[in-house]
Amino acid sequence: MATSDLTSVMSIASSGLRAQSTRMKVVAENIANASTSPSAPGETPYQRQVVTFKNEFDRAQGVYKVKVDGVKKDNSEFLRKFDPSHPAADAEGYVLMPNVKPIMESMDMREAQRSYEANLSVIESSRSMLLKTIDLLRN
């Protein structure tokens, strides 16, 4: 494998690191807001966000890299919680709650973490191979 191939591999993996970092940030935000509620009737609660990815061709290196396509709102229905004493309760006593399911967010976080670790492993392996190549060229 040529040196330029190794740097391309490292570049691809680093794009994966950036993408998964964004994903972890959004998941953390979702988890942090899972229990927030509106303060008045008719207000909408926090709306779960999701990250979308896309492949983007890097002409300079001749490789495809992963990029964050966007952070979009999840349009699934809000959860309803019966709490007639809450200031944001409707006439029936229900409060709209965020459409965040902590168990799903935890699974998303674990998947992002594993993808992040896999990309980090690729970078470490490529770096090691690159250093060994340099050592061989010195001798």
Nearest to 112 by CA among 12, 8, 26: 26
- Count CA atoms within 13 Å of residue 24 on its CB side: 14
Mean pLDDT of 114-132: 94
Q: Which residues have CB under 8 Å from 9's CB, separation 6+?
A: 122, 126
Task: Name the residue with higher pLDDT: 130 or 16.
Answer: 16
User: Do the beta carbons of residue 73 and residue 47 sit within 8 Å?
Assistant: yes
Q: Which residues have CB under 8 Å from 27's CB, separation 6+?
A: 105, 108, 109, 112
Task: Kindly report, residue by residue over 67-118, the tens digit of the pLDDT.
Answer: 999 999 999 999 999 999 999 999 999 999 999 999 999 999 999 999 999 9
Task: Kindly report, residue by residue over 20-71, the tens digit of the pLDDT.
Answer: 999 999 999 999 999 999 999 889 999 999 999 999 999 988 999 999 999 9
pTM of the model: 0.86
What's the pLDDT at 5? 84
C-alpha separations of 81 from 37, 57, 60, 72, 103 in Å? 10, 46, 53, 25, 18
CA distance 131 to 6: 11
Reduced to 3 states (helix: H, G, I; strand: E, B; else coil), residue 46 is coil
